[in-house]
Amino acid sequence: MRGISRNLSQGGMQVEAADLKMKDAVQLTFRLPISRALVDAVGAVVWAGERRHGIRFNYIGEHSQRTIRQFIEEQIGS
C-alpha cells in the first residue's frame, strides 16, 4: 500500500493511508526528501484517525536510525 508520511521522528511517524487499523503490524519502506536515503522499519499502528495513522517503530536498523537522526538534525538547523 502507498501513503504519505508526515511528522517523522526517531520513534515513529504519522502516515496518511487507507485501510489501517489500531494495532496493525506494518512494514515500512520510504525515502527521505532531499537525500533520497532509503529507510526500512517495522512498526505498529498506535492511533488511527479517518485517514491518518500514528505508527510507532518497533524495529529499525542502525543505518536507518542514523539516516533519520541526520535528517531531523538538518531540518532543525535550516
* The predicted structure's pLDDT at residue 78: 62
* The predicted structure's pLDDT at residue 51: 86
pTM: 0.87
Where in the sequence is the domain holding 26, given as residue range(s)? 4-77
* Interatomic CA distance for residues 25 and 46, integer angstroms: 10
Contact at 8 Å (CB) between 12 and 46? Answer: yes
Domain count, the chain: 1
Phi-psi category of 63—alpha, beta or left, where left has phi over 0 and alpha has psi -120 to 50?
alpha
The CATH number for 43's domain is 2.40.10.220
* The predicted structure's pLDDT at residue 76: 85
Q: What tens digit of pLDDT does each residue of 32-74 get?
A: 988 899 999 999 999 998 889 999 999 999 999 999 999 999 8
| Short-list 72, 31, 71, 9, CA closest to 54 | 9
